[in-house]
């Protein structure tokens, strides 16, 4: 291959000789045509490489019709015109319209080319902020022992799954043992006082009944008949003695009164009998009042003692419940258990996972030592800082669903619900804190992981939109490929608007319902650019 100048210095002659000495191909062209053809050749090679990478369909990217070389000495203008005509063919559609691209339908599958209609729908502009996965603080527990003691058992390890109420560790505590024994003693004393109170209340009731009966001045026989089988304690003796003395004095006075008129009995005896009866009557009346009050007070004191001991038992039980014991544990307390009474269990507060363990067997621990951490990882929180200029995006977003992604799971998105949009702007970072709760049933989201949270624009609107994969850019202009039918496509310049998710708004240049390429348009763009380069 070599070059030599044309005789009139306005053309360059390009001569190619093959190894066959009997054959010579000569092509004469201007320098500009020569370099256009060279560029077309390079693009054809690039198209072949790209096509092979796309799955074997690259042959059709920049295929040029075969052209026989003009005879040596042919008209330069004719060769130049022929070359320019061929370069323009891929940029014309079947009707000769500029901007059109012909693309064989047999190659669509290899290029993954898909066609769909431009549609009108709801679009939201999305702003992304960086967030961080954190533990759900509403389902997080740092466990501290409430008493001092020695660790006797550790039944869980890091990462273990626990259920509510499951025993995770046991501490041997003297404080717990003393509380258990105090409750056992108070219970025994309460049982005794209850029996004593029942007897006291019965005695009191019977004494009051006897006092009421004696005030009716019954006969001794009637008193015996009504109260002989009812316990009265010392009240029976005191009341019956005073009542009999009064009755005797009365009868003695009544016996002497008739003898007085007959002169048989001296007046002095009558006066003494009268005084005796008056004294015995007053004594009985005083005793009735006194013993009635004493009986009632005894009943009240007995009831108060029982109430006080009930309260003490309740306090003992409450103290043990504060230490983590339930009603079943408290009901089963028996002094015969010995050292077992001093065992203080550490139970799981809810279903979750052990995320920290700072305890070992025989270690001395107390209320200041965190020994275990449990978290419910079925849900997590996302925390993100939102700048002041982005505040309109989070105003009123409570209970709103947002999407987020993690680089650990490419191609996968997650959803969460906003439950808090910060109320205070940090004076240093000028941001507010956004909190999102997300489901984590599959445990893909790990606390500490960074995520990208999409904040949808509240000003959503129904607009003409197309997939992001349908829009291309060239020389600062956006365009789509419109399907004209058959194998014909047309480049259509458009003005894009808001972008939301996987769609973009088309502000002008396209109508609803027009068929456009939504996937595989790169092959068409490559063919179009090849034609533009050849035309230049």
Lowest mean pLDDT: which of 32-46, 120-134, 277-291, 521-535?
Answer: 32-46
Confidence of residue 460 (pLDDT cuts 50, 70, 90): low
What does the pLDDT average to over 165-184? Answer: 93
| CA dist., res. 399 & res. 417, Å (int) | 6
pLDDT of the residue at 70: 39
- Helices marked H in 110-233 — which ranges? 174-214, 220-227
pLDDT of the residue at 459: 58
Return mean pLDDT, the chain. 80
What is the length of the chain?
536
What does the pLDDT average to over 271-290? Answer: 91
Comparing 110 with 85, the larger pLDDT belongs to: 110
Q: Is it the case that residue 309 has pLDDT exceeding 80?
A: yes
Residue with the two structure tokens 């502000």: 507
Comparing 381 with 70, the larger pLDDT belongs to: 381
Q: What is the pLDDT of residues 62-88, one digit of tens each?
A: 333 333 333 333 333 333 333 333 333
What does the pLDDT average to over 252-258? Answer: 83
| CA dist., res. 531 & res. 11, Å (int) | 25
| CA dist., res. 31 & res. 82, Å (int) | 15
| CA dist., res. 399 & res. 413, Å (int) | 19
pLDDT of the residue at 264: 74
pLDDT of the residue at 253: 86
Q: Is it the case that residue 59 has pLDDT exceeding 90?
A: no
What does the pLDDT average to over 83-111? Answer: 61
Please count the other Cβ atoms lying within 10 Å of the Cβ belonging to residue 364.
Answer: 10
Give the pair of three-digit tokens for residue 488.
């014909």
Q: Among 37, 27, 136, 56, which residue's Cα sits nearest to residue 355?
A: 136
Q: Is 330 exposed, middle or buried (0-12, 13-18, 19+ CB in 10 A)?
A: middle
Is this model's pTM higher than 0.75 or not? no
Q: Which residues contact 74 (CB under 8 A, 6 or more apart)?
A: 28
Q: What is the pLDDT of residues 331-349, one digit of tens each?
A: 888 888 888 889 998 999 9
Q: Is it the case that residue 28 has pLDDT exceeding 50?
A: no
pLDDT of the residue at 184: 92
For a pLDDT cut of 70, what percent of the chain falls above it? 78
| CA dist., res. 354 & res. 158, Å (int) | 5
pLDDT of the residue at 396: 65
| CA dist., res. 440 & res. 434, Å (int) | 19
Multiple choice CATH, 114-124+461-519, 2.60.40.4070, 3.40.50.970, 2.40.420.20, 3.20.20.70: 2.40.420.20
pLDDT of the residue at 458: 54
Give the pair of three-digit tokens for residue 346.
């550490």
Q: What three-state secondary structure class fits 313?
A: helix
Confidence of residue 89 (pLDDT cuts 50, 70, 90): very low
Q: Which of 136-140, 332-336, 387-391 has the highest mean pLDDT?
A: 136-140
Q: What is the pLDDT of residues 401-439, one digit of tens each?
A: 889 999 999 889 999 999 998 888 999 999 999 999 999
- Domain limits, the chain: 2-88, 114-124+461-519, 126-166+349-457, 185-321
pLDDT of the residue at 180: 92
CATH 3.40.50.2300 corresponds to the domain 126-166+349-457: no
For a pLDDT cut of 90, what percent of the chain falls above it? 56
Please count the other Cβ atoms lying within 10 Å of the Cβ belonging to residue 156.
Answer: 20
pLDDT of the residue at 92: 43
Confidence of residue 497 (pLDDT cuts 50, 70, 90): confident
Instruction: Classify each residue of 275-297 as buried b or exposed e, where b means 16 or more C-beta atoms within 10 Å of its C-beta.
Output: ebbeebbebbeebbeebbeebee
pLDDT of the residue at 86: 35
Q: Is it the case that residue 394 has pLDDT exceeding 90?
A: no
Give the pair of three-digit tokens for residue 45.
């090679």
Q: Is it the case that residue 117 has pLDDT exceeding 70?
A: yes
Residue with the two structure tokens 């902020």: 129
CA–CA–CA angle 340, 343, 344 (5° rounding): 155
Confidence of residue 187 (pLDDT cuts 50, 70, 90): very high
Q: Is it the case that residue 324 has pLDDT exceeding 90?
A: no
What does the pLDDT average to over 508-520? Answer: 94
Confidence of residue 12 (pLDDT cuts 50, 70, 90): very low
Question: 115 and 486 in contact (C-beta within 8 Å)?
Answer: no
Q: Is it the case that residue 60 has pLDDT exceeding 70?
A: no
| Cα distances (Å, whole numbers) of residue 191 to 188, 302, 306, 451 | 5, 13, 9, 64
- Helices marked H in 323-353 — which ranges? 327-331
Q: Which residues contact 484 (CB under 8 A, 6 or more apart)?
A: 93, 94, 100, 490
What does the pLDDT average to over 486-514? Answer: 90
């Amino acid at each position: 291959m070599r070059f030599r100048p044309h005789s009139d210095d306005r053309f360059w002659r390009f001569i190619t000789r093959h190894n066959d000495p009997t054959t010579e191909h000569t092509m004469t062209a201007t320098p500009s045509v020569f370099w256009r053809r060279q560029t077309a050749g390079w693009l054809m090679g690039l198209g072949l490489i790209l096509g092979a990478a796309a799955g074997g369909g690259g042959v059709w990217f920049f295929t040029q019709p075969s052209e026989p070389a003009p005879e040596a000495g042919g008209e330069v203008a004719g060769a130049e015109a022929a070359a320019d005509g061929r370069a323009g063919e891929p940029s014309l559609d079947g009707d000769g319209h500029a901007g059109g691209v012909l693309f064989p339908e047999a190659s669509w599958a290899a290029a993954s080319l898909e066609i769909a209609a431009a549609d009108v729908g709801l679009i939201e502009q999305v702003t992304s902020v960086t967030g961080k996965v954190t533990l759900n603080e509403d389902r997080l527990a740092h466990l501290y022992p409430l008493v001092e003691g020695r660790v006797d058992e550790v039944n869980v390890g890091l990462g273990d799954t626990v259920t509510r109420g499951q025993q995770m560790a046991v501490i041997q505590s003297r404080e717990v043992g003393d509380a258990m024994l105090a409750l056992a003693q108070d219970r025994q004393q309460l049982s005794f006082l209850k029996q004593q109170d029942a007897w006291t209340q019965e005695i009191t009731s019977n004494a009051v009944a006897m006092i009421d009966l004696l005030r009716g001045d019954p006969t001794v026989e009637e008193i015996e008949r009504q109260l002989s089988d009812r316990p009265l304690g010392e009240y029976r003796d005191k009341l019956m003695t005073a009542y009999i003395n009064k009755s005797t004095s009365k009868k003695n006075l009544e016996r002497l009164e008739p003898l007085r008129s007959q002169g048989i009995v001296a007046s002095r005896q009558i006066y003494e009998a009268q005084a005796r009866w008056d004294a015995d009557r007053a004594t009985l009346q005083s005793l009735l009042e006194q013993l009635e009050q004493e009986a009632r007070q005894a009943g009240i004191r007995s009831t108060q003692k029982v109430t006080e001991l009930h309260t003490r038992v309740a306090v003992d039980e409450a103290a043990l419940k504060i230490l983590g014991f339930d009603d079943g544990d408290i009901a089963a307390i028996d002094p015969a258990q010995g050292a077992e009474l001093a065992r203080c269990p550490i139970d799981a507060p809810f279903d979750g996972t052990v995320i920290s363990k700072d305890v070992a067997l025989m270690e001395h621990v107390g209320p200041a030592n965190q020994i275990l951490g449990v978290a419910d990882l079925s849900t997590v929180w996302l925390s993100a800082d939102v700048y002041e200029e982005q505040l309109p995006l989070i105003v009123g977003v409570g209970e709103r669903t947002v999407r987020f992604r993690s680089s650990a799971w490419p191609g996968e998105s997650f959803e969460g619900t906003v439950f808090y949009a910060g109320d205070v702007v940090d004076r240093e970072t000028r941001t507010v804190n956004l909190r999102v709760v997300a489901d984590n049933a599959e445990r893909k989201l790990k606390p500490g992981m960074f995520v990208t949270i999409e904040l949808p624009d509240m000003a959503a609107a129904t607009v003409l939109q197309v997939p992001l994969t349908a829009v291309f850019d060239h020389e600062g202009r956006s365009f789509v490929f419109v399907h004209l039918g058959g194998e014909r496509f047309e480049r259509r310049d458009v003005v894009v608007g808001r972008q939301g998710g996987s769609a973009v708004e088309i502000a002008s240049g396209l109508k609803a319902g027009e068929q456009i390429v939504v996937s595989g348009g790169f092959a068409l763009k490559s063919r179009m650019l090849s034609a533009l380069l050849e035309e230049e």
